[in-house]
Structure 1
Amino acid sequence: MNGLQLALVVVSLVSLVTAPFWSNFIIVQTFTLASIWAIFAMSWDIQSGYTGYISFGHSALSGAAAYTTAMLLYNVGDLPFMATAPVSVLVTLVVGLAIALPSLRLSGPYFSLITFVAVLIFYRLIRPFSDYTGGETGLQSVEVFTYDPIPRFYYMVIPMLVIAVALLFIARSNIGLVFTAIRENESAVEAAGLNATKFKLWSFVISAIPMGIGGVLLAHYSGGVDPNAFVVVDNSIEMIAMAVVGGMSSILGPLGGAFLFLSLDRIILTELPTRLRWILIWVFVLLVLVFARDGLLRKLWHGLDRLGGDRR
């Protein structure tokens, strides 16, 4: 990291944590929600971006955590957050393993198809168990942490930053190196005596834990759950789009991509009609895929590396 890159990180971090003191209500609300989606995008990235096994089923993981929290509060009673949150994350981990175990021996479109089907199954199971899940209308049983925008902002930003540091540490460790090697040449990993399937399973486990945390936070942000907002495949697609815009297999890229994606939707293009706004957002994502395949933030990072690098 050279001086320019360090300056970018410091300025971005300071700007984020001080946002309530220099911005307006809309920006604070957008950054609050973007912090949760940044957790989702980074969690997807550590599994799919690093290993190359593209998952369309991560909304099932966040949905499992959110629904577990809501169902516990609705069906059991007024439980404390410190009781519901660990259970919700544990359920997310179990759901992640249920998806991963039958799918990780496959590759390419077959793996992606199974993860896609997992979301559809989850969605279809909500209605038959409507006595517990609330069916199509969902459950409004989750207490919002606070409606005060400043504390609410920090309730979401602080866990996001902690998760970002943890995932960065994992990504830069030997485990992250093996994940990347699986993406580049899985046969070579097997030839080196490493069990690629075991490491792919670990990637799903590592991804499921922060996905569960993000799902719990989103439930407490929204005050409830419903299938159309928490489980649909669209959520998985948006996580992927955020990672693509920022730069896959970088952790910080998807983090920045989430903030950029939500800022486009809720700040920059907010005055446009909903359909036109989303058309423009997805055209933007498509342009990034065509002209900046490594992601905008990764492109910026490499540009700063060239500008501030050692020129001896």
Structure 2
Amino acid sequence: MSSETDRSTGSTRVLGDTWRSVDDGLRSVGNRINPVFQPLADGYNRLFGAYFGEMNGLQFLLIFGSLLGLLTAPFWGTFSLIQTMTIACIWAVFAMSWDIQSGYTGYISFGHSVLSGVAAYATAMLVYNVDPEMSMAITIPLSILAALAVGMLIALPTLRLSGPYFSLITFVAVLIFYRMIRPFSEYTGGETGIQTVSVFTYDPLVRYYYMLIPMLVVAVALTFVARSNIGLVLMAIRENESAVNAAGLDATKFKLWSFVLSSIPMGIGGVLLVHYYGSVDPTTFVVVDNSIEMIAMAVLGGMSSILGPLGGAFLFVMLEDFLLEGLPASARWTILWTIILLVLVFARDGLFRKLWHALERYGRRGETR
């Protein structure tokens, strides 16, 4: 018994020593790289730090290195990779939109796919039922407004609820919208959907930028809001809604604002998706599975951080459609959702939030331990 205990203690000590060596090595590398990019980070911090958050040299390298990679992807990526990254841009919009409402307030929505579905169907129905030649300059704003209107229709009666009651109502909203498609098949196309929507372009390079640029705009806008006083109030609602009300702030009003902030980019994402596929159908655009995937992306990257869900969306889509593409569907889904479960157990703050904090720690100047 004593020998087994000694072996266990010895193994723990070896693992501890190994981790300390790795940690010291990472700090040493960070202390070399961070000063190289710190002047650029300092310039960014002076200009934009108050609006989007300050960062050290390593964090600056991650953000702007990733941005450079996204902007130049068509020049170094394969056709298959660019196709995957194009669809990842759209899902990143969905994940960030879900995060500003649910991740920040703690009111978990299972019905966000209805917002993107409404925008997609609005575009398709305007073309199908009104005018096949209707300009995108008309259909796109009207579709986003439709998503906002439905978002308010869901939010107004439900935001006074909390916990599972709110989540249940959002879940039911998806089911209602899905079931309404068949009775109104004359206008919605029923189960087969509407196949007459024009695509932005068939050029894969141009199409990629059509999806990337709106995603980046949404990311900047939502990050700005999240770092503002509105974002602070939304997080306070998540932590203690009663305290927010006691401070003289109307928590319900701010929750309503979170739905507005979420519905508009969800509408943008729905429009991008329908013009990507050139068609719309209930199975692709409305089902609850889409909402679950949005949540998984936010969890994977790190909720209540905006950029975390963006990274989580890219990782999720890259795993599903690129890295695991050759596997049977059952094996692909098993591996993918096992990864999500492992993140929930071992990295509840999300992988990208963990990475961000690690870069902050290893970028501290003058530290070796």
TM-score, normalised relative to structure 1: 0.99
SS of the residue aligned with 2:326?
coil
* 1:257-308 per-position Cα deviation (integer Å, ceiling 9, x unaligned): 0000000011110010011101110111011000000000000000001000
Which residue of structure 1 lines up, in the alignment, with residue 156 of structure 2? 101
Amino acid at match of 2:259: F
Which residue of structure 2 lines up, in the alignment, with residue 53 of structure 1? 107
Tell me whether 1:184 sits opposite 2:239 in the alignment.
Answer: yes
SS of the residue aligned with 2:108?
coil
1:62 corresponds, among 112, 116, 133, to 116
SS of the residue aligned with 2:196?
coil
Tell me whether 1:30 sits opposite 2:87 in the alignment.
Answer: no
Tell me whether 1:156 sits opposite 2:207 in the alignment.
Answer: no
Amino acid at match of 1:37: W
Match runs of 1:14-25 below 5 Å: 14-25=68-79
C-alpha distance in structure 1 between counterparts of 2:254 and 2:135, whole Å: 35
Tell me whether 1:221 sits opposite 2:247 in the alignment.
Answer: no
C-alpha distance in structure 1 between counterparts of 2:163 and 2:355, whole Å: 30
Q: Which has the larger radius of gyration?
A: 2
SS of the residue aligned with 1:46?
helix
Match runs of 1:190-205 below 5 Å: 190-205=245-260
Amino acid at match of 1:144: V
* 1:141-199 per-position Cα deviation (integer Å, ceiling 9, x unaligned): 11011111100000000000001000000000000000000001101100100000000
1:174 corresponds, among 222, 229, 240, to 229
Match runs of 1:116-265 below 5 Å: 116-265=171-320
1:90 corresponds, among 145, 156, 163, to 145
Which residue of structure 1 lines up, in the alignment, with residue 45 of structure 2? none
C-alpha distance in structure 1 between counterparts of 2:286 and 2:67, whole Å: 31
Amino acid at match of 1:219: V
The 1:200/1:311 distance shift into structure 2, 3 A limit, reads farther
* 1:182-220 per-position Cα deviation (integer Å, ceiling 9, x unaligned): 001101100100000000000001100000010000000
C-alpha distance in structure 2 between counterparts of 1:15 and 1:223, whole Å: 28
Which residue of structure 2 lines up, in the alignment, with residue 297 of structure 1? 352
Amino acid at match of 1:285: I
C-alpha distance in structure 2 between counterparts of 1:142 and 1:17, whole Å: 27
C-alpha distance in structure 2 between counterparts of 1:214 and 1:146, whole Å: 17
Which residue of structure 2 lines up, in the alignment, with residue 80 of structure 1? 135
C-alpha distance in structure 2 between counterparts of 1:311 and 1:69, whole Å: 56
SS of the residue aligned with 2:197?
coil
Which residue of structure 1 lines up, in the alignment, with residue 28 of structure 2? none
TM-score, normalised relative to structure 2: 0.84
Which residue of structure 2 lines up, in the alignment, with residue 43 of structure 1? 97
Runs of 4+ in 1 over 6 A off after TM superposition: none
Which residue of structure 1 lines up, in the alignment, with residue 335 of structure 2? 280
SS of the residue aligned with 2:225?
helix
SS of the residue aligned with 1:249?
coil
* 1:49-78 per-position Cα deviation (integer Å, ceiling 9, x unaligned): 000000001000000000000000000111
Give aligned pairs, total: 312
Q: CA RMSD in A?
A: 0.7
* 1:71-122 per-position Cα deviation (integer Å, ceiling 9, x unaligned): 0000011100010000001010010001101110000000000000000000
Amino acid at match of 1:190: N
Q: CA deviation at 1:309?
A: 2.3
Which residue of structure 1 lines up, in the alignment, with residue 22 of structure 2? none
C-alpha distance in structure 2 between counterparts of 1:79 and 1:177, whole Å: 41
SS of the residue aligned with 2:279?
coil
Identity rate, percent:
72
Tell me whether 1:115 sits opposite 2:170 in the alignment.
Answer: yes
Amino acid at match of 1:126: I
SS of the residue aligned with 2:116?
helix
SS of the residue aligned with 2:318?
helix
Amino acid at match of 2:357: H
SS of the residue aligned with 1:83?
helix
